[in-house]
Amino acid sequence: MNAPSRTAPISTQGMTAFDHPEFSGHEQVVFAHDRETGLRAILCVHDSRLGPALGGCRIWPYATTEDALRDALRLSRGMTYKNALAGLDLGGGKAVIIADPRKDKTPALMRAFGRHVARMNGSYITAEDVGVSAEDMEDVARETAHVRGTRATGLGDPSPYTALGVFAGIRAALAHVNGTDSLSGCTVSVQGLGHVGFDVARQLKAAGARLIVSDIHQPAVDRAVAELEAVAVSPAEAHAVEADVYAPCALGAVLNAVTIPQIKAKIVAGAANNQLATPADGQALKDRGILYAPDYAINAGGVISIALATPGGDDALVREKTLAIGTTLTRIFQRAEAEGLTPETVADRLAEERLAAAGK
């Protein structure tokens, strides 16, 4: 058999990895298979200029290999920016396993994935993501040391750190707009009262804010009303209420052509990933004079806790780096204003500048 040409592309249903619209200079794209378990995974290292690539492993029943590749490449590049902006000495990467987490996930599958992570010899460090539990990561850790968020290396659930960073970010946004970060007398609409959202609401209340809350899960709403004296609205109204801050802590794409004209708050700052439906929506917020805290900047507390957790459980460094999210956002807001740019454009530039400096 002839050896494949050195430049032969990896083909995925007509699309090649090298020519893929989301390829964006990836350093490694590994298609991993395990004969025994049927594991099919894609492990990506986007950029290692700042250090080994840290990014979670997602298990999802992708309809096609192309769907899985697109998601892996997009998420992996996103981690490069998130880790760089969070001040971590870590690059960006991601893994996806093509499987249904409810039907196909077994300890053997996770161990097979762990063996492939081990083969990457530390260029990629894995962690939890959608479809993967802390228990699953313990199975992965039986095969490789290149895993974070386990009992041995982690501080446990990253959500409290994500919430701490979001709270710091809301204060930074208030300081930029009002000249003071005081929450006293401010009204915040918290959309989504899950692991992160409820904790954000609790901290806001303790700092003197009035809360408007919404969730599709009624018990979470009832709890916030009872414990935090919050006023409940329907999730569909959360963005449009009279408030100083709108904090999306549930789903992505909540900032779009329909919602943006209805927002009354002067600040949008929350934990949800991928809040802007399209890049044009960032410009639309700016045009309306609404200050937007870029999602990947404000919600980095979780990845900071995973990256910097120490076996002893001392979280002083994690808290320090997480609270620094407020300082980073202040820099972003000031530069955006000075240069007439959107905050998310400035966030990308700050990350790119750090990467370029590391590459020299």
- 197 is known to lie in a ligand binding site: yes
Nearer to ligand NAD, 272 or 355 (CB): 272
Cα atoms in the Cβ-side hemisphere of radius 13 Å centred on 71:
21
- Residue of this chain nearest to ligand NAD (CB atom): 194
Distances from the Cα of 50 to the Cα of 88, 127, 158, 355, angstroms: 8, 18, 22, 7
Nearer to ligand NAD, 53 or 220 (CB): 220
Q: Is 250 in the site for ligand NAD (CB under 6 A)?
A: yes
| Residues 198-217 within binding reach of ligand NAD (CB under 6 A) | 214-217
Q: What does the block give as tokens for 241?
A: 């209420």
Q: At what angle do helices 107-119 and 134-141 cross, to 10 degrees?
A: 50
By CB atoms closer than 10 A (0-12, 13-18, 19+), residue 31 is middle
- 195 is known to lie in a ligand binding site: yes
Q: Is 162 in the site for ligand NAD (CB under 6 A)?
A: yes
User: Binding ligand NAD by CB under 6 A: which of 249, 269, 304, 341?
Assistant: 249
In the residue annotation, 105 being an active-site residue is answered as no
Q: Is 220 in the site for ligand NAD (CB under 6 A)?
A: yes
Nearer to ligand NAD, 114 or 248 (CB): 248
**Residue type, position 152, single letter:** A
> Taking a C-beta distance cutoff of 8 angstroms, is the pair 294, 300 a contact?
no
- Min dist CB 283 to ligand NAD, Å, is 22
| Residues 286-305 within binding reach of ligand NAD (CB under 6 A) | 299, 302
Q: What would you report as the CA-atom Rg of the chain, rounded to the nearest whole angstrom?
A: 21
Binding mask 38-77 for ligand NAD (x = CB under 6 A): ----------------------------------------
| Residues 178-197 within binding reach of ligand NAD (CB under 6 A) | 191-197
Nearer to ligand NAD, 83 or 214 (CB): 214
Footprint of ligand NAD (CB under 6 A): 158-159, 162, 191-197, 214-217, 220, 235, 249-251, 271-273, 299, 302
Binding positions are 192-197
Binding positions for NAD(+) are 192-197
